[in-house]
Structure 1
Amino acid sequence: MKKEALGKLVDIKTGKLDVNAGTEYGKYPFFTCAKTVYRINQYAFDNEAILVAGNGDLNVKYFKGKFNAYQRTYVIENKEVNLLSMKYLYYFMETYMIHLRNGAIGGIIKYIKIDHLTKAEIPLPPLDDQKRIAHLLGKVERLIAQRKQHLQQLDQLLKSVFLEMFGFFDKTYTNWTIDTLTSHTEIVSGITKGKKYKTDELIEVPYMRVANVQDEHFVLDEIKTISVTKNEIKQYRLLAGDLLLTEGGDPDKLGRGAVWQNQIENCIHQNHIFRVRVNDKSRINPDYLSALIGSPYGKSYFFRSAKQTTGIASINSTQLKKFPIVIPPIELQNRFATIVEKVESIKTHYQQSLNNLETLYNALSQKAFKGELDLSRVAVLVDVTP
């Protein structure tokens, strides 16, 4: 398939505005390097464009109409409308973004130069085939967005059910016993990486990193291992029902954690993660405890207690041990845990569907940009917005 340097097909500009130029209820979209699209009352562009974040996570967006842009956001405009479909370019840039991230320059804040865009080699099938590819990938992308929305709705459902069941809407939770977390749990920080051992009798085991522990779920697609002693395995080994909490990060991520269900055998945890193990499950249900800590009630406590520096907040074991745990009747906690189990079963179904769709999208996009996709049964549709 013929390829062409992107710079020969498009004009690439940048916005002129400071990142803080937006207005909350502005009339027009304001594109910065964030994934979120903000608003503004003045527009500088009125066309069909691809927006590429010049730093940060280097995301890509498509828009047609009046808008404005931050000075580190690249605005790509088509100058060869008979050769290039902008929606096809959008989906090409989605796949090319992996290359851009790998080639990004810098440390914590990565950035790309205009050459990374102008020198990109884009495959150029016939214009109608480009539109077919955009239509096909767009359908799969919308299904992916739908599955993600379903998962978010289920998470919101659980949070609302929790607040309603345990009286956090009308403050009736204050009628129940409130005690310190340390009175009902064992709280342990994890293994320190990079330790030096005097023995060669080490055992390699999987361990949970901060990146693995998210809000109410685990991300287990990349599991790393560490070599430790037999005693350390015994000390740090995770058991079903353990609540894992990260010690810090962005302020809105305080209290981030999930209940371990023994997804990985003989797994331990690193020192930036707290393991909270309930002493008596006839008094405290781990699913209830996890929801309590992750609720507005829990996050409010951690936000007040945390040490904060330059946008990073962290808690220590002393603050965690003092967490004021509300203790409703165990029957009510168990009823909530049953709801959690049912919702998690539905989420597992949606997550598998999402994984399959993302695999399909990746396979289709790879074939499409190699010219290996059979497009004979794909209709040519106009104006399919990503």
Structure 2
Amino acid sequence: MWEKVKLFDVCRPKQWKTISTKHLQTSGYPVYGANGKIGFYSEYTHVDPTLTITCRGATCGSIHITDPKSYINGNAMALDDLKSNTSIRFLYYYLKTRGFEDVISGSAQPQITREGLEKIEIPLPPILIQEKIAEILDKADELRRKDKDLRDKYDELAEAIFMDMFGDPVRNEKGWDVKTLKELCLKIGSGSTPSGGNESYKNEGISLIRSLNIHQNKFKYKDLAFIDDKQADKLKNVIVEADDILFNITGASVCRTTVVPSNVLPARVNQHVAILRFDKEHVAPFFAVRLLSNAIMNRHLYAIATQGGATREAITKEQLQKLEIIVPPIHLQEAFAKKNELINQLKAQTNAEKSEELFQSLLQKAFKYELTID
């Protein structure tokens, strides 16, 4: 077991003077705030790379390592005067794994204070072990970043092909036919959560797809829930079929959408996910999902979900039914779908999910004393 010490034993957390947004510049020394780099300034507060913790707002608890010669704004806590017996990257990975849920205070405006940080303890193996662990995690992090960047470029390519073929789907400058989802869908509907909530889920059985599984043009299998036949029978009005579009209708992930993968069937959806089942004679599923996830269309959908100053993002069934979308000739949709499928095949070869899982696994092992150090 490694020695445990107080965070304050290895550094001196401090908030520096905040630079107002109007004083930020387009060039100079990088300025770090609540969301990492936020601009530039003519002066810097820190010569060496420094670990920062976002201490206010929605991103409270996010951590960054600054570039050399940076200005650290007051919305981020700088861990100054880091002692020589502590590796900055080892501390970064440990705090990233630990999280700050137990030191964040305030509900309307989350914040982290110096007093809150005083309770944090960190494991402190010898510096050579810290550096070796950080080196292993750096390599895994680099791999996952490269895979993610490659996946993102494939998504950008698909988006560019869509825009080239069909143009802006909201302005419809190419003059395609326009119809409502009610006219184009054989089914629009969401389900419910079985009584008992999380406690009622099974280890196997029929998939229950929730909003956390739906990401933009991607299905995440982590935390996929399962229900038994009896529970599924109560949700027989939301049986998911092959090529159904899954669309998040409430919460922070509202408007995320993807095509259901065949390997999760049979499946049902809960109340936060809508099934959009298009009539394939008029709409190709992979055209539809790219249309709904298009950046311009997604902004349009989000505006609908938040109209009227709603405190919680949500799109109703009625709003979905009334949503108008472009309907190019089906042969063009299918031609795009073939190109999209090729891009998806290339994306699948990036191993982005595997490299993410590897990185997260190594993070957990590193601080459970399970990582082998040669």
Distance in 1, matches of 2:353 and 2:302, equals: 34
Is residue 2:4 matched to residue 1:3?
yes
Mapping for residues 25-64 of structure 1, pairs under 5 Å: 25=26, 27-34=28-35, 36-41=36-41, 43=43, 45-48=45-48, 49-55=50-56, 56-57=58-59, 58-64=61-67
Aligned residue number for residue 200 of structure 2:
none
Moved more, 157-166 or 315-324: 315-324
Cα pair 1:284 1:330 within 8 Å, conserved: yes
* Alpha-carbon contact 1:22-1:40 (below 8 Å) kept: no
1:128-151 deviation line (CA, Å, top 9, x unaligned) = 443333333222211111111111
Higher mean C-alpha displacement, 235-244 vs 324-333: 324-333
Which among 329, 346, 354 is matched to residue 356 of structure 1? Answer: 354
Structure 1 CA distance for aligned equivalents of residues 20 and 148 of structure 2: 28
Unpaired runs of at least 5, structure 2: 197-204
Please give the residue correspondences for 1:106-255 in structure 2 after superposition, counting only pairs within 5 Å: 106-107=106-107, 110-168=110-168, 174-193=174-193, 205-225=206-226, 232-249=234-251, 255=255
State the distance in 2 between where 1:230 and 1:366 align.
Answer: 35
Partner amino acid, structure 2, of 1:288: F
- Please name the residue that 1:381 is paired with: none
Determine helix, strand or coil for the equivalent of 1:37.
strand
**Letter of the 1:38 counterpart:** I
Q: Counterparts of 1:255 and 1:367 in 2: how far apart (Å)?
A: 35
Contact 1:14 1:74 in 2 (8 A): yes
Q: Quick one: which amino acid aligns to residue 117 of structure 2? A: L
Give me the whole-angstrom Cα distance separating, in 1, the residues matched to 2:319 and 2:364. Answer: 49
Alpha carbons of 1:366 and 1:22: their partners in 2 closer, same or farther (altered >3 Å)? Answer: farther
Please name the residue that 1:286 is paired with.
285
1:89 corresponds in structure 2 to 91
In structure 2, do the counterparts of structure 1 residues 154 and 120 end up closer, same or farther at CA, with 3 Å as the change threshold? same
TM-score by length of 1: 0.79
- C-alpha change, 1:235 and 1:161, in structure 2 (3 Å) is same
Which whole-Å CA distance do the structure 1 matches of 2:122 and 2:254 have between them? 42
Q: 1:300 and 1:119 mapped to 2: Cα distance?
A: 42
Give the letter aligned to residue 192 of structure 1: S
What per-residue deviation string (whole Å, max 9, x for no partner) do you get for residues 163-220 of structure 1?
Answer: 1122449x88634322222112134332234779xxxxxxx85422222222212222
Task: Give the SS at the match of 1:220.
Answer: coil
- 1:50-95 Cα distance to aligned partner (Å, 9 max, x none): 10122444121112433333434211023522x2232332233222
Distance 1:349 1:4, change over 3 A: same
Displacement, 1:254? Answer: 5.8
Contact preservation (8 Å) 1:143, 1:357: yes
Preserved contact between residue 240 and residue 268 of structure 2 (Cα < 8 Å): yes
CA distance in 2, matches of 1:273, 1:19: 40
Deviation at 1:273, TM superposition (A): 2.4
Alignment length, in residue pairs?
Answer: 359
1:320 matched residue in structure 2: 320
Counterparts in 2 of 1:357 and 1:184: CA distance versus 1, 3 Å = closer
Q: Partner residue of 2:202?
A: none
Q: Percent identity?
A: 22
Provide closer, same or farther for how the CA distance between residues 360 and 276 of structure 1 changes in structure 2, counting only shifts above 3 A: closer
Contact 1:213 1:246 in 2 (8 A): yes
Q: Is the 8 A contact 2:232 2:268 kept in 1?
A: no
Change (3 A) 1:263 1:329: same
Change (3 A) 1:298 1:10: closer
How far residue 161 of structure 1 moved from its aligned partner, in angstroms, is: 0.8
Bigger drift between 178-187 and 101-110 goes to 101-110
SS in 1 for 2:47: strand
RMSD: 3.3
Contact map agreement 1:22 1:38 (CA 8 A) in 2: no
CA distance in 1, matches of 2:76, 2:37: 12
User: Which residue does the alignment assign to 1:17?
Assistant: 18
More deviation in 19-28 or 127-136?
Answer: 19-28
Aligned residue type for 1:286: P
